[in-house]
Amino acid sequence: MKKQKIIIYQVLIRLFGIQQNNFIPWGTLEENGVGKMSDFTHEALQAIKDLGITHIWYTGILHHAVIRDYSVYGISHDHPTVVKGRAGSPYAVKDYYSVDPDLAIDPANRMEEFEQLVGRTHQAGLKVIIDIVPNHVARHYHSIGKPAGTEDFGFSDDTNVEYQRDNNFYYVPGKSFELPEWKNGYQPLGGRSWPVDLENYVENPAKWTGNDCRLHQPGFYDWYETVKLNYGVKPDGSHDFVGLPDNFYVEDAETHYSFWQQEEVPDTWKKMKEIALFWLGKGVDGFRFDMAEMVPIPFWSYLNSSIKHYYPNTLLIAEVYQPQRYEDFIFRAKMDLLYDKVDLYDTLRNIINGKANCHDIFPVTDRLYGLADHLLHFMENHDEDRIAGPAFAGEATSAVPAMVVSACLDKGAVMVYFGQECGEKADESAGFGGSGKTSIFDYIRVSKLQQWINGGRFDGGQLDQSTIKLRDFYQKLLNFCLESDALKGAFYDLHRHNAGLSSWVRWDKLYVFARYTDQDKILIISNFDREKNLDFRLSVYFDLINRWQLKPGRYLLTDQLDDKITFTLVVEDNHSFVDVFVEKSKALILKVMSGGI
């Protein structure tokens, strides 16, 4: 049985449920509001599932550094000078064994509320993904949720040396940490005061910063709110652990697991394994591993083979940006999915913005199609600009043809970022985050999503007609991806063949390919031209007709995004074609209907 396509919905919990209309830059939780885990009601989850989603990536679950007084719950204060934004970065984890207290109705019961969220999500037929951030932790890491007998990161470190294999951090001996020199008029909390009276932040000796900065005073653009974890990589780049045997490129996860049972590994490896198993024990179905490239491949073999040994169905996603390392992450690191940012996302974005053309897509398919089962495609996520925002396309519909290509090009997974389906612009400057991205550092509304939520009715009652049409497009596309047999089958490029036949058609703005199985056959046509409709004759390569085993005749083609749109595929003895009309910034998914006409 061919597996169902994975479709992920990434959502920042603390922003999903915000319904306040007022907004204050650098606003507090009380001023701007905050979303809660309880906002994901049965109705909300059903609406997300109905969009065509299989997995929810709940971003920001782990307790990270925050600017709020939670001392009554035994939580130590985080210093504003080493926290980015008012709400703090979800990627500066303070307690790996606890949930962000902002997200709970009752912070004292935040883990129980998370377990209830997992239960509701599973009841809705959805799977749960959370982040694991292996490369770094918050500057002031302190776990109060850890199981008995578990040591904090750094607890037993020898802080007198820069490096020791079983230290969890790297140090700058003899130097105290100094804050960056603030730039562009920046002030912590935007210059607003915090009512808790704190002394200056002290870290002695200084630790290396998360982005591998080894200075006791990182720069403003460094990840100064985080510290780098030590995985047994010496400062000179050599390793303090055994490497994987060469033949492990083809060995399965269980063989990797058996190998590591005989080897001693650095302490940080062991701690991260226990953290992953802890969350899987809470019902989590998968992890998105932040900046996976910044820790060594043998560690991933150790961690992921352990995960698969105990929880074989866990979905493991790596944030990677080096396509030349994809095979290592798939076959040696045992990842299930890899970010396809540098190749497909960057290419599609550049086509939309006029910096590339459709001829640039097929080199991507040539390079990566053999790895397609392991790729995660997207047009938005928390690191990228909103499509409708000022730094990208400026309007959400411009990405419709790209979204169809992204979702249908191969067997890989696809991801939608919350609010993308409603054309969120993220055009408000939140505080630490600028406009064009939905800030991950602040309490900020997601206006278009608010309109869809419509006071908890989740019916889009406040959306205008153009946005309703956009969301309807996403729902039809994603549900088609779930149901289509053709998308589980082969790919066939029709772009190069047609571009060489007709110079008068703007093939730099048009991309065409086919997907098929014996039972299901589709043609996909995307018009990236933002100004012109395209009316042209598409030649269907006769090799494809033979693969489809179509006899001479006429075949009805029905658009799977709008069943009112139909065309005719003409198959003759020596030529096959479709006369096609496709509107600007639109796409067609044309299914070959059974039988001739």
Q: For the domain that residue 528 is a member of, what is the CATH number?
A: 2.60.40.1180
* Closest to 151 (Cα-Cα) out of 290, 303, 274: 274
Please indicate, yes or no, whether residues 418 and 553 belong to a single structural domain of this protein.
no
SS3 209: strand
SS3 398: helix
Q: What is the pLDDT of residue 430?
A: 85
Q: What is the pLDDT of residue 591?
A: 98
Please indicate, yes or no, whether residues 284 and 411 belong to a single structural domain of this protein.
yes
Which residue do the tokens 């400062």 mark?
Answer: 235
How far is it, in rounded angstroms, from Cα 378 to Cα 396?
14
Of 434, 450, 482, the position where a domain reaches its end is 482
Whether the ω angle into residue 205 lies within 30 degrees of 0, i.e. cis, is yes
SS3 535: strand
Please indicate, yes or no, whether residues 376 and 504 belong to a single structural domain of this protein.
no
Q: What is the pLDDT of residue 504?
A: 63
Beta-sheet pairing, 286-289 with 315-318: parallel
In a domain? residue 597: no
Please indicate, yes or no, whether residues 503 and 386 belong to a single structural domain of this protein.
no
Please indicate, yes or no, whether residues 525 and 462 belong to a single structural domain of this protein.
no
Please state, as a whole number, how many other Cβ atoms lie within 10 Å of the Cβ of residue 359. Answer: 14
pTM as predicted: 0.97
Of 482, 498, 530, the position where a domain reaches its end is 482
Burial 164-197 (b: 16+ CB within 10 A, else e): bbbbbbbbbeeeebeebeeeeeeebbbebebeee
* Closest to 131 (Cα-Cα) out of 258, 247, 33, 8: 8
Phi-psi region of 269 (alpha: psi -120 to 50; beta: other; left: phi over 0): alpha
In a domain? residue 358: yes
- The sign of the dihedral angle between the CA atoms of 46, 338, 320, 435 is negative
* Cα 340 to the center of its chain, rounded Å: 10
How far is it, in rounded angstroms, from Cα 205 to Cα 168?
14
Give, as one character, the DSSP assignment of residue 243.
Answer: P
In a domain? residue 84: yes
Please indicate, yes or no, whether residues 410 and 266 belong to a single structural domain of this protein.
yes
Tens of pLDDT along 67-126?
A: 999 999 999 999 999 999 999 999 999 999 999 999 999 999 999 999 999 999 999 999
Please indicate, yes or no, whether residues 462 and 520 belong to a single structural domain of this protein.
no
Tens of pLDDT along 17-72?
A: 998 888 899 999 999 999 999 999 999 999 999 999 999 999 999 999 999 999 99
3-state DSSP helix/strand/coil percent for the chain, to nearest 5? Answer: 30, 20, 50
Please indicate, yes or no, whether residues 351 and 454 belong to a single structural domain of this protein.
yes
What residues have CB less than 8 Å from 223, skipping those under 6 apart? 136, 209, 210, 211, 213
How far is it, in rounded angstroms, from Cα 419 to Cα 450?
9
Please indicate, yes or no, whether residues 437 and 512 belong to a single structural domain of this protein.
no
Q: What is the pLDDT of residue 450?
A: 95
Tokens found for residue 288? 């998105």
- The sign of the dihedral angle between the CA atoms of 463, 469, 472, 478 is negative
In a domain? residue 370: yes
* Cα 207 to the center of its chain, rounded Å: 29
Beta-sheet pairing, 553-559 with 586-592: antiparallel
Q: What is the pLDDT of residue 502?
A: 63
User: What's the domain count of the chain?
Assistant: 2
Of 482, 517, 548, the position where a domain reaches its end is 482
Give, as one character, the DSSP assignment of residue 582.
Answer: E
Q: What is the pLDDT of residue 503?
A: 62
Element (H, E) at 521: strand 521-527
For the chain, which residues score pLDDT lower than 70?
Answer: 1-2, 501-504, 596
For 54, phi then psi, to 5°, come to -110, -30
Q: What is the pLDDT of residue 2?
A: 65
In a domain? residue 76: yes
Structural domain containing residue 20: 7-216+220-482
Which residue do the tokens 């191969």 mark?
Answer: 410
Please indicate, yes or no, whether residues 474 and 582 belong to a single structural domain of this protein.
no
Q: What is the pLDDT of residue 196?
A: 87
Please indicate, yes or no, whether residues 520 and 470 belong to a single structural domain of this protein.
no
In a domain? residue 460: yes
Q: What is the pLDDT of residue 501?
A: 67
Angle at 169 between CA 167 and CA 170, to 5 degrees: 100
Please indicate, yes or no, whether residues 455 and 538 belong to a single structural domain of this protein.
no
